[in-house]
Amino acid sequence: MSAPVNQLKDAKFGAAAFRASQGGVLPSVFPREMGPNAHKYVAEVIDGGLQSTIVDRMEAMIAEAHGRKHCVGAPGCTQALFTTMMAMDFEPGDEIVVSPISDYGTVAGALFENYIPVFADTEPGTGLISAETILPCITERTRAILVVHKFGLTPDMDPIIALAKKHKLVLIEDVCQAILATYKGRIAGSMGDVACFSFDAEKTCGADIGGATVTDDEAIYSRLVNRGPSRGAKDVPGFGRVHIFRGFPTRIPQCTAATVMANFEILPRQIRQRQKTAAMLTAMLAEMPGIIPYSVPQGRTHSYWMYGFTLELEQFRCNIDEFCKQLSQEGLSGVGPARYYLLPESLWFVKENAQKGRYPFCTPPASRIPVYSAASTPNAQRFLDRWVRWFWTEKYTEKHVEMMANMVRTVVERNHR
Ligand SMILES: Cc1ncc(COP(=O)(O)O)c(C=O)c1O
């Protein structure tokens, strides 16, 4: 990295991150279409003087849609995963096998709970882990597998479910990027012991900042409620609140729950539109030399938070950054590589703590200290080094897809060897 840390700009998230890429020839993710009931639900919160049933109803809606008994709202998926980690009752130094290509939010909770993330590699050519890549990471200290359904697509879940069962590991799904994606007819978020969702503004069911955890497990559910929304407190008659766990407040705001409900109601229609236009672009890109569209394996559906393709770099005279720059100049705003998604490389403070043996990266409590670096997950690194991606939206029409295909074709023809 060239500049010292104090000269780097702070990262932006949510709607603010999109401002720079708005106003081009293609529609942008923002402003979002809000569900027609959004005003009504938000008004309920305001008219009820902040005493509404919206959070309960939103949680019931998300639980039911995923065939789950329980749902606990949170202010974001980072917090939903943090609450989930608080609810796990693992010991500091216990290991969690995690997908290496993801957002910081995937592992933040595990790190706060002093668990050790162990990154499994991805299957070649995909951003997804598999039972084969997880298996070598399992030790006697492994307690959970945290699977990320990346970009809008689930990994091959049946072998992962079998592996988790065999080794008695908790299976956690990070569904942030893949709400309403399916695997062999099952919906993402219905396959693990626990699943976490994001309703962040930029996500497929964007509803400002928000998240949720779903589960069927009664014990996990009661710990989730106690340690998150109830901040680890119980009411003792005649005394009042006592704190039985170092909880942390993770209640979902009622106005957010209102917009989650409204936007979740229109989500199936939006995802069908995303899938239709993405399939059209995939067919067009498949005919271009040096471009490998992301394939959706049989039995799975992609819910297209992001769209992307692999660039066969050896076939081009330019590098991936130059390719993306030219694509952006052609009008595909927001396009770029996604190297930052490589967690073993991007978690600088974790790398440093592990190198310096800072708690919990010391023995005890850990049994081993992983080396965090890009080289530790070579397939994931190779995949991201060639991966071109941009945000997808239900606003894209057939005409927009043709425009996008022409932009890619122009850049391919200009740079192909
Ligand atoms: C896979 C994944 N997990 C977790 C998160 C964190 O979600 P949130 O922004 O709702 O906290 C994100 C956000 O981008 C994500 O993509």
Rounded distance from Cα 85 to ligand 1 centre (Å): 15
Q: How many angstroms does the Cα of residue 103 sit away from the middle of ligand 1?
A: 6
| CA 119 to centroid of chain Cα atoms | 15
pLDDT in tens, 37-59: 999 999 999 999 999 999 999 99
CA of 402 to the centre of ligand 1 (A): 30
Name the residue with the closest Cα to ligand 1, atom 7: 77
Query: Is 3 inside a domain boundary?
Result: no
The per-residue pLDDT for range 252-307, each reduced to its tens digit, is 999 999 999 999 999 999 999 999 999 999 999 999 999 999 889 999 999 999 99
Centroid of ligand 1 to alpha carbon of 310 (angstroms)? 23
Sorting pLDDT into bands at 50, 70 and 90, what band is 1?
Answer: low
Closest ligand 1 atom to the C-alpha of 149?
1
Give, as one character, the DSSP assignment of residue 28.
-
Pairing of strands 182-183, 186-187: antiparallel
**104/347 Cα distance (integer angstroms):** 8
Query: Average pLDDT of 130-138?
Result: 98
Residue 11 has pLDDT above 70, yes or no: yes
Is 56 within a domain?
A: yes
When pLDDT is averaged across residues 342-359 and rounded to a whole number, the result is 98
Q: Is residue 152 part of a domain?
A: yes
DSSP 289-339: TTEEEPP--TTEE---SEEEEEE-GGGBSS-HHHHHHHHHHHT-TT-EE-G
Locate the ligand 1 atom nearest the alpha carbon of residue 80 and give its number.
Answer: 11
Q: How far is CA 287 from CA 266, 281, 336, in A?
A: 33, 10, 21
Task: Look up the domain containing 191 and give its range.
Answer: 38-260
Cα 108 to averaged position of ligand 1 atoms, centre (Å):
10
CA of 198 to the centre of ligand 1 (A): 6
**Helix axes 38-47 and 54-65, enclosed angle (nearest 10):** 140
Strand partners, 214: 71, 195
234: three-class secondary structure by DSSP: strand
Q: How far is Cα 119 from Cα 122, in angstroms, rounded to an integer?
A: 9
Ligand 1 atom nearest the C-alpha of 81 is 4
Q: And the tokens for 301?
A: 């559906």
Taking the chain, what is the end-to-end CA distance rounded to the nearest angstrom? 30
**Protein residue with least CA distance to atom 13, ligand 1:** 103
Ligand 1, atom 5, lies closest to the CA of: 105
Distance CA 207, CA 218 (A): 28
The number of folded domains in the chain is 1
54 found inside a domain: yes
Looking at residues 143-154, what average pLDDT do you find? Answer: 98
Q: What residues does ligand 1 touch, defined as CB less than 6 Å away?
A: 76-78, 102-103, 105-106, 148, 174, 176-177, 198, 200, 211
**What atom of ligand 1 comes closest to residue 13's alpha carbon?**
9
What pairs with residue 71 in β-bridges?
A: 214
Q: Can you give the C-alpha Rg of the chain in angstroms?
A: 22
Indicate whether 364 belongs to any domain.
Answer: no
Whether 337 maps to a domain, the answer reads no
Nearest Cα neighbor of 133 from 108, 102, 163, 153 is: 163
Distance, in Å, from the CA atom of 183 to the CA atom of 175, rounded to the nearest integer, reads 12
Q: How high does pLDDT run on average in the chain?
A: 96
Q: What is the mean pLDDT of residues 195-218?
A: 96
| Distance between CA atoms of residues 119 and 232, nearest Å | 30
The reported pLDDT for the residue numbered 2 is: 60
H/E stretch holding 272 reads helix 254-285
Rounded distance between C-alpha atoms, residue 134 and residue 172, angstroms: 13
Within a domain: residue 400?
no
Minimum CA distance residue for ligand 1 atom 6: 105
Nearest to 262 by CA among 30, 14, 36, 60: 36
CATH number of the domain that residue 218 is part of: 3.40.640.10
Q: Which amino acid is at 132?
A: E
Distance from the alpha carbon of residue 104 to the mean position of ligand 1, in angstroms: 7
Looking at the domain assignment, is residue 189 inside a domain? Answer: yes
CA distances from 75 to 107, 163, 209, 252 (A): 16, 31, 6, 5
Residues above pLDDT 90, as percent of the chain: 93
Q: Are 334 and 392 in contact (CB under 8 A)?
A: no
The encoded tokens of residue 31 equal 């402003």
